[in-house]
Amino acid sequence: MQPDFSLPRSPRPIIIIGTGGIVNDAHLPAYKLAGFNVAGLYDINIAKAIITADKFSIPVVYENLEQMLKNAPQDVVFDMAVPGNEIIGLLQKLSDDATVLIQKPMGENYEQAKQILQITRDKKMIAGVNFQLRYAPYVIAARNMISKGIIGDLCDIEVNVNVFTPWHLWDFLFAASRLEILYHSIHFIDLIRTFLGNPTGMYAKTVKHPLMKQLASVRSSIIMDYGDMIRANILTNHCHQFGLHNQNSFIKFEGTKGAIKIKMGALMNYPDGVADLFEYIIIEEGKECKWETIDIKGSWFPNAFIGSMSEMMKAAEGSIISPDNSVEDCIYTMACVEAAYESDKNGSIKMSK
């Protein structure tokens, strides 16, 4: 099964700001697959940018932001792959009416997210956030099945991640006051929103680990409240260091007539990953129920990154009014994240002795 990626009619040149691991592992491989032109790179670490440019045959490495802004093509899309605390400063330096894809999260907290939203409004930017899990091929396939009513009415979404994540690959996270929900489970919060809309509330507990005391929380339990008939849960543990045997990483959709379960192989044995698996089951009267598999071409990394960039290009060329992943939509994902942290801070109901 080949999910339908909607590509822009006239792809625009891209300049990437930041050349960290995610750019090398996902952004640039995705853009190569899509045939997008990356016109240049900028990173405060010029040596790192040069290595990336050589690896992917990118013609220009800018020495500073001023040079980048002066020489950027007129119709460029800026791909800002920087930590959340650097987004506001960069947006303020970009020209009015710029098209910009912002790496998630949309700031380090909800207050910063609101500032980012206001800056993009004031400067009349076409701005989106790189919540690319929305565009993973297996998510597109699940969305198509659900929209056609194949598994009935959607009433349950569960994300369960029990893996060992090598956090040392992102050194900036060691100084972050928020980690797991803001930099990881945010993907799943955003994904659930795209299926169920905005929740009426959030419940969450996020905790550290005795062997990772230098990091903020690395394990989370999150409930998104959609009333009495729909369950939406996220359970993550990034500290399962006991081999692959009992690791898991899945999204499960249950409806009134069937279910879909997606194994997200990219998160297991990271960064090498394991194979994805797409399974589904449908209840049909008089027939034996059994799980079937579908071969989905492509994966979260790198294929989904084509989708988030394509949305920016389509909005810039006018083939769509607004990107699906616009800051106007993604501000609600940030509101959910903030509510989750508020729930964690307020704590549980205390039991009487």
Tens-place pLDDT, residues 231-247: 999 999 999 999 999 99
Asked if 160 and 272 sit in the same domain, the reply is yes
Tens-place pLDDT, residues 139-164: 999 999 999 999 999 999 999 999 99
H/E/C letters for each residue in 174-206? HHCCCCHHHHHHHHHHHHHHHHHCCCCEEEEEE
Last residue of a domain, one of 250, 276, 294: 294
| Tally of structural domains, the chain | 2
Q: Which residues span the domain enclosing 32? A: 14-132+303-325
Q: What is the pLDDT of residue 4?
A: 54
What is the pairing mode between strands 38-42 and 61-62? Answer: parallel
**Count, residues in the chain:** 353
Which sign, positive or negative, has the C-alpha torsion 14, 18, 23, 29? positive
Tell me the H-state helices in the chain. 21-22, 28-34, 46-56, 65-71, 87-93, 110-122, 137-147, 180, 186-196, 304-317, 327-346
**Distance between CA atoms of residues 250 and 236, nearest Å:** 10
347: confidence class by pLDDT, cuts 50, 70, 90: confident
State the CATH number of the domain containing residue 112.
3.40.50.720
The DSSP H or E segment spanning 254 is strand 248-255
**Distance between CA atoms of residues 73 and 38, nearest Å:** 11
Rounded mean pLDDT of 11-15? 98
Q: What is the pLDDT of residue 143?
A: 96
Look at residue 348 and tell me whether its pLDDT is greater than 80: no
Q: What is the pLDDT of residue 203?
A: 97
Tens-place pLDDT, residues 80-132: 999 889 999 999 999 999 999 999 999 999 999 999 999 999 999 999 999 99
Tens-place pLDDT, residues 66-81: 999 999 999 999 999 9
Tens-place pLDDT, residues 253-298: 999 999 999 999 999 998 889 999 999 999 988 888 899 999 999 9
Asked if 173 and 111 sit in the same domain, the reply is no
170: confidence class by pLDDT, cuts 50, 70, 90: confident
**Distance between CA atoms of residues 281 and 264, nearest Å:** 18
| 241: its two tokens | 């260091």
Asked if 123 and 139 sit in the same domain, the reply is no
Rounded mean pLDDT of 151-179? 94
Look at residue 3 and tell me whether its pLDDT is greater than 60: no
Asked if 94 and 199 sit in the same domain, the reply is no
State the CATH number of the domain containing residue 198.
3.30.360.10
Name the residue with tokens 């704590």: 347
Half-sphere exposure of 281 (CA within 13 A, CB side): 13
